[in-house]
Amino acid sequence: MRLLAITAGSWILAATCAAQESTVPASAHWPTFRNSHDGEWRVRWNKATQTPKAIFGTGLRLEPGAAETLEDARRRAGRVLDTFPELLGLVESQFVESVGQQLLQTWIFVYQQRYDGLEVLGGRADVRVHRNGAVSMFGSKAVTIPAGFTTTPRIDPDFATLIARRRVGVANAETKIRLIVHADVHAPTPTEPRLAWEVIVSSRTPFVRERVFVDAGNGSVIESWNEVYTCAFGHTHVRGDDGAPRASATERRTLARAIRAPKRAGNLVTGTVLGFMNTSSDGTSAATNQPIPDVLVSIDGGGSAFTDANGNFAISDPGTAPVTVRVNLDQLRTRHARGGINTFEGVGDPFCNPSTAGCVNNPPVVTAAMVADVVQATPGGAPVTLQLAQGQTEFEVSQVTSYWHINDVNQWVRSIHGDTTQLNLLSNVAVFDNWGASCNAFYSNNQTHFFSSGGGCTNSGFQ
């Protein structure tokens, strides 16, 4: 669950899957894959390599049983590469495992692309294997190497080093050099591989570290990376000396007014919001009753306030008569998950199109009750407690748990980058719980989707 939330934070500026499918030519093998494997599949294409960098959906099972050990998972991941080499564009190169480890309920494998013994810059394949044995995601950024591509340089390393030093402007700098296949896997158009010398130029005085790529055929500089990083005023991590833009004067004044805003006169309605949730990284742990931070508590016809880190709130009210106080996780009622916590009863297949063969008799996806609580409180009186997920059912606990983790990750990101307005898009994330499938979860278009329990897996909102 935490992994998916972090992943969501890093993908908030990505286009939707549908948009990418309409603008990037599909692999000729993609329709064959979709026709050969049941379920709904989503794909994100890499424009530079023309390969599917991420294929995910209802999960892919190539062999039965669970993946309990690293070796079990490694075998399954390797089978994915062996089964779909044309779809992933793996046919011209070798792919060597560079990462093989477990994170929560998922085994993560990354394979670095090599051609004739040389690293292909940015070329890789990825496979994620769930502990239940199903493949949750796979894809590649595999650079196509054309026939006749030569790995014999025409210029020697000494000359390439001289070119790099002149580029940086430090004659006596230290250097490291190696021969690679250069490609730009982030380009908006198909990338062209080029044999290149990668030269790292570094110096303490002046302080310089630059990575220069020199064409090994003609000596031209393909590109260079300034690897001296600075943290600018806007809290953005950038290369070189170009700082991030400052927040606008209007934004700064708005923040200042909010900080200096006087409290409303009147008696205070105070209390705490609690909820049953699983705050661990183990999806099988028992739910515990914990404070819920950053959720909006409101008085009917009156004011409202967000809870603090301990779940406490205080709302000023001018009267003395009892008032109705309520809380839920709907849209715009949380500080950092403003898309709301949307929940279903876990029936039906959320990916199923009723017009598709095999889905006609599939039961519909039904919206389930959102966790909420309403209490009476007296302004100036005793603090009240609002309790979410009182019944401690799977559907209730998953809502509170997924909200807590989404909010926790958002706060963690802000602790690093600062409470900047540039992170507001991250706070608009929407969460969909208890979808009618199991053993998977996915992120798309600033929305996270968690599946209900089943197939030997816990509710993915618990992870």
Residues 133 and 172 in one domain: no
Q: What is the pLDDT of residue 10?
A: 38
Residues 308 and 442 in one domain: yes
Residue 241, in any domain of the structure: no
Residues 88 and 191 in one domain: no
How is residue 354 written in tokens?
């009723």
Residues 29 and 112 in one domain: yes
Rounded Cα distance between 415 and 184, Å, is: 32
Residue 232, in any domain of the structure: no
Contact criterion met (CB below 8 Å) for 108 and 13? no
CA distances from 268 to 49, 133, 335 (A): 60, 54, 21
Q: What is the pLDDT of residue 457?
A: 82
Residues 364 and 449 in one domain: yes
How many helices (H) and strands (E) in the chain?
8, 24
Find the domain containing 189 and state its range. 157-227
How is residue 364 written in tokens?
């519909």
Closest C-alpha to 371, from 350, 346, 343, 345: 343
Contact criterion met (CB below 8 Å) for 257 and 269? no
How is residue 428 written in tokens?
């608009």
Residues 8 and 127 in one domain: yes
Q: What is the pLDDT of residue 460?
A: 78
Q: Where do the DSSP E strands lie in 318-456? A: 323-328, 341-343, 372-377, 384-388, 430-435, 441-444, 447-451
Rounded Cα distance between 437 and 140, Å, is: 25
Please report, for the domain that includes residue 167, its CATH number: 3.10.450
Q: What is the pLDDT of residue 5?
A: 44
Rounded Cα distance between 394 and 462, Å, is: 9
Mean predicted confidence (pLDDT) in 237-245: 44
Residue 393, in any domain of the structure: yes
Q: Greater confidence, 194 or 408? A: 194
Residues 207 and 66 in one domain: no
Mean predicted confidence (pLDDT) in 131-146: 91
Rounded Cα distance between 101 and 69, Å, is: 10
Residue 84, in any domain of the structure: yes
Residue 364, in any domain of the structure: yes
Question: Residue 32 corresponds to which amino acid?
Answer: T
Q: How confident is the model at residue 3 (pLDDT cuts 50, 70, 90)?
A: very low
Residues 317 and 451 in one domain: yes
pLDDT tens digits along 419-452: 777 677 778 787 877 776 778 787 776 778 788 7
Domain boundary among 227, 251, 275: 227
Query: Is residue 346 scored above 90 in pLDDT?
Result: no
Q: What is the pLDDT of residue 349?
A: 54
Pairing of strands 41-46, 51-60: antiparallel
Residues 129 and 196 in one domain: no
Q: What is the count of structural domains for the chain?
A: 3
Domain boundary among 112, 141, 170: 141
Query: Is residue 347 scored above 80 in pLDDT?
Result: no
Mean predicted confidence (pLDDT) in 77-93: 91
Residues 277 and 411 in one domain: yes
Residues 354 and 407 in one domain: yes
Domain boundary among 227, 254, 276: 227
Q: Greater confidence, 12 or 412? A: 412
Residue 147, in any domain of the structure: no
Residues 297 and 413 in one domain: yes
Q: What is the pLDDT of residue 368?
A: 60
